[in-house]
Amino acid sequence: MTRTRNAPPPAASVEQQNRRLAMVASLTSNGVLITDSDERIEWANESFRRISGYALDELLGRHPGELLQGPGTDPTAIDRIRDSLRSTGAFSETLLNYRKDGTPYWVAIDAHAITDDGEGIGGYVAVHRDVTQEREQRAALAAERDFARAVMETVAQGLTVTGPDLRFTYVNPAYAAMTGYRAEELVGMHPHDVTLPAAGVDLDAVRADRRAGRTTSYRARLRRSDGGELDVLITGVPVMRDGHLAGSISVVTDISAEVEKQRLLRAAHEASVNASKSRSAFLARISHELRSPLNAIIGYAEMLVDALPADADRRAAERIERAGRSMLSLIDDMLELSRSEGGFFEVRLDRTSLRSVTAQVAEAMRGSHDLGTITLATEVAPAPPVVLDRQRTHQVLNNLASNAIKYGAGERGRIALRARVDGDTLVFEVEDEGPGVPPDMLDKVFESYVRSDATDATGFGIGLPLSRQLARVMGGDVTLTAAPGGGTLATLTLPVVPETGADDVRLDGLLVVGGYDRVARLTSAIARSGLTRRWCVAEERASAERLLGQRGFDAMVWLNPASASEATARFDARDWAETPPLPPTLVVEAATEDAGGTTPSGSGTWVVPAHASALSRARSAVLGGAHHALQRAIAGEGSHRG
């Protein structure tokens, strides 16, 4: 018998349909359960038996509820299931069930009635889907959300969330407290409704960066509900979806106390600078007023010495001359020390010889002191010409020799003034035979206006502090130790400066800004490099600004503060906008461990590592890098001048 084309296939038998349905039910990962009209189990697929842990013969004829429900099952959910079955013959519900071994699990159930050709409900078929993992994940996410919200609600910093329209969708209590508004009042507002830009901040540029997906951090002021303003730091993180800004999360930190502290520091700094200027002007005027009569006294004393015979009167005239010169030297030291406190020192290198330096010091001592029976001997080791600042070196050695005469020579003592070259260091020594300096005072005597009580000699305690400052500005140091035969050994060390021609000196002037106690390593490297024959050292920014306005410098080296408490003084090229154009600037970071070269940091500045331990491993690392960076800056390579 042949079948007519396009005729429908013969209907499958009920038995075939049941086999097919059973095969589908056996293949699905969900549990399938069939019950009779009394809701007793007639059949369960393998997945249901695996989920529940029961074998088929343990399930047949039983009510699902008596096997699967337990103490944690929600009774209201059971009531909803019964009501749905009575009203619609179907239900969808999520229940907490229990396996045969008592393990709880969550299951999503979809059940429908099976009708018998309109004769009524013949049974029910239910699909069980194990959703335990999904419920646990949702519970974990909910717990994380609750924890995050608790943190956001209790954190001291302000937190805000904006949506795609850039309006607030959430603000925490801390942010609301900063503004004086209630949180519900702020939701729906634009951030710029309560945000004012700080000086120098372009909020439009900030918003453009945020739209481009870049994290922004900037200073601003919050406009409070009472009309006041609050200084804040805002860090905003954009939330991007498909390359478009979907909102942002911002952290708002109250920095009003820090801003006020900086304002007070600036005011105190300005007051200190003004006081220093007034003092310097006063001392300069006093110095001028004192110098005129002193010079007259010294001049007439010299005339008397030349005119009188070698008798008591002539010796009196000599004492007048020496006292005048000693007072003149003291006035010079006081004026120099005053200038250094908030001021600057200038170093000018010149070619000379060790013998010339020591001879000038010995001559000055004989002219300003009554040596009597004191022996002043000079010992100079053979050496080629040296390069140093003759005026500064002479000033330091004068102070050391004067101290030896006043404190350590005694009536018939001997003072030795020695000079030699030791490798790459110039060494000057002044040794006396006096009582020496007590060990606990060897460092204290370098503090201003502190002096040892080891002798009855008078003094103001300014010679040694000034001498150490001058030595460090020149790249060296001054130390005191016990002399081998008793007494005190004062040592001045200076770097050996290479002989360079005019064409080899790269810079006409270099400005170094930093404390005198930290500057010696850098100035020593500058001197040894032959980079320049002139540099100035200023201890603070105010002096540096005055120097930049008054003198020409080809480059500046900024020693960043070593401690966080000095952070307000850290270098920022933007802060110098009001000053004359900055020369190329090297920023030396005190806390940097690695001393391996320089790193361009933009705006005509370079960061040069300068940690003490690193410098001890490579003495010229700082200036080795600084030299090349400055050369590149002067030649116009790399970054441009600041």
* pLDDT digits 0-9 by tens, 274-293: 776 676 667 667 766 776 67
Within 10 angstroms of residue 363's Cβ, the number of other Cβ atoms is 10
Supply 261's token pair: 């502290």
Give every CB contact of residue 112 below 8 A, 6+ residues apart in sequence: 89, 90, 124, 125, 126
Mean pLDDT of the 340-366 span: 83
CA–CA distance from 342 to each of 237, 394, 540, 542 (Å)? 43, 23, 6, 8
* Tokens 């170093």, located at residue: 347
Q: How far apart are CA 331 and CA 462, in angstroms?
A: 11
* Tokens 């609301």, located at residue: 176
pLDDT at 427 (0 to 100):
96
Provide the CB-side half-sphere exposure for 634 (13 A, CA).
Answer: 17
Identify the DSSP state of 406: I
Q: Which residue has the higher pLDDT, 622 or 628?
A: 628
Select, from the ranges 467-481, 530-544, 553-567, the one with the highest average predicted confidence (pLDDT): 467-481
Q: Which residue has the higher pLDDT, 418 or 457?
A: 418
Beta bridge partners of 387: 351
Mean pLDDT of the 584-601 span: 53
Mean pLDDT of the 376-384 span: 92
pLDDT at 230 (0 to 100):
92
Do residues 164 and 139 touch, judged by C-beta distance below 8 A? no
Q: How far apart are CA 575 and CA 493, in angstroms?
A: 37
Mean pLDDT of the 604-630 span: 43
Mean pLDDT of the 267-272 span: 76
Q: Which residue has the higher pLDDT, 310 or 336?
A: 310
Most distant CA atoms of the chain, gap in Å: 166
Q: How far apart are CA 390 and CA 355, in angstroms?
A: 12
Q: How far apart are CA 256 and CA 230, in angstroms?
A: 6
Nearest to 629 by CA among 554, 570, 538: 554
pLDDT at 494 (0 to 100):
96
3 confidence band (pLDDT: 50, 70, 90): very low
Using the CB atoms, write b or e for 582-599: b if 16+ within 10 Å.
bbbbbbbbbebeebeebe
Long-range contacts of 625-628 (CB under 8 A, 24+ apart): 625/597, 625/598, 626/525, 626/526, 626/529, 626/531, 626/557, 626/586, 626/598, 627/506, 627/529, 627/531, 628/598
Select, from the ranges 93-107, 279-293, 395-409, the one with the highest average predicted confidence (pLDDT): 93-107
**pLDDT exceeds cutoff 50 at 633:** no
Nearest to 551 by CA among 568, 573, 536: 536
Q: What is the pLDDT of residues 416-429, one digit of tens each?
A: 999 999 999 999 99
Radius of gyration in angstroms for the set of CA atoms belonging to the chain, rounded to a whole number: 45
CA–CA distance from 487 to each of 202, 402, 460, 478 (Å)? 67, 15, 21, 17
pLDDT at 309 (0 to 100):
80
pLDDT at 196 (0 to 100):
86
Mean pLDDT of the 611-630 span: 42
Q: What is the pLDDT of residues 523-546, one digit of tens each?
A: 888 888 777 888 999 887 777 887
Select, from the ranges 282-296, 312-326, 390-404, 514-528, the one with the highest average predicted confidence (pLDDT): 390-404
For CATH 1.10.287, the residue range(s) in the chain are 268-340
pLDDT at 635 (0 to 100):
45
For CATH 3.30.450.20, the residue range(s) in the chain are 16-136, 155-254
Lowest mean pLDDT among 17-21, 103-107, 421-425: 17-21
**pLDDT exceeds cutoff 90 at 175:** yes
pLDDT at 430 (0 to 100):
93
Architecture of domain 344-495: 2-Layer Sandwich (3.30)
177 confidence band (pLDDT: 50, 70, 90): very high
143 confidence band (pLDDT: 50, 70, 90): confident
Q: Determine whether domain 504-635 maps to CATH 3.40.50.2300.
A: yes
pLDDT at 10 (0 to 100):
54
Do residues 560 and 535 touch, judged by C-beta distance below 8 A? no
Supply 122's token pair: 């013949």
For CATH 3.30.565.10, the residue range(s) in the chain are 344-495
410 confidence band (pLDDT: 50, 70, 90): low
Provide the CB-side half-sphere exposure for 612 (13 A, CA).
Answer: 5
Query: Apex CA 32: angle with CA 27 and CA 36, to 5°?
Result: 135
Q: What is the pLDDT of residues 41-97, one digit of tens each?
A: 999 998 999 999 999 999 999 999 999 999 999 999 999 999 998 889 899 999 999
Count helices and strands in the chain by DSSP H and E runs: 18, 25
Identify the DSSP state of 68: H
Mean pLDDT of the 596-612 span: 44
In this prediction, what percent of the chain has a pLDDT beyond 70? 74
Q: Which helix (H) or strand (E) holds 262?
A: helix 256-307
Within 10 angstroms of residue 222's Cβ, the number of other Cβ atoms is 23
SS3 379: strand
539 phi and psi angles, rounded to 5 deg? -85, -20
**pLDDT exceeds cutoff 70 at 496:** yes
617 confidence band (pLDDT: 50, 70, 90): very low
- Structural fold of domain 268-340: Helix Hairpins (1.10.287)
351 confidence band (pLDDT: 50, 70, 90): very high
224 confidence band (pLDDT: 50, 70, 90): very high
Do residues 532 and 553 touch, judged by C-beta distance below 8 A? no
Supply 1's token pair: 């018998």
Using the CB atoms, write b or e for 307-326: b if 16+ within 10 Å.
eeeeeeeeeebbebbbbbbe
Architecture of domain 155-254: 2-Layer Sandwich (3.30)
pLDDT at 93 (0 to 100):
93
The phi-psi region of residue 219 (left if phi > 0; otherwise alpha if psi is between -120 and 50; otherwise beta) is beta
- Structural fold of domain 16-136: Beta-Lactamase (3.30.450)
pLDDT at 476 (0 to 100):
93
| Average pLDDT of the residues of the chain | 78
332 confidence band (pLDDT: 50, 70, 90): low
The residue type found at 489 is L
Within 10 angstroms of residue 510's Cβ, the number of other Cβ atoms is 25
Do residues 132 and 98 touch, judged by C-beta distance below 8 A? no
498 confidence band (pLDDT: 50, 70, 90): confident
Mean pLDDT of the 431-458 span: 69
Q: What is the pTM of this model?
A: 0.51
Q: Which residue has the higher pLDDT, 41 or 334?
A: 41
130 confidence band (pLDDT: 50, 70, 90): very high
Select, from the ranges 55-59, 241-245, 517-521, the one with the highest average predicted confidence (pLDDT): 55-59
Q: How far apart are CA 518 and CA 520, in angstroms?
A: 6
pLDDT at 200 (0 to 100):
77
pLDDT at 603 (0 to 100):
41
Identify the DSSP state of 532: B
Q: How far apart are CA 585 and CA 511, in angstroms?
A: 9
Mean pLDDT of the 610-616 span: 37
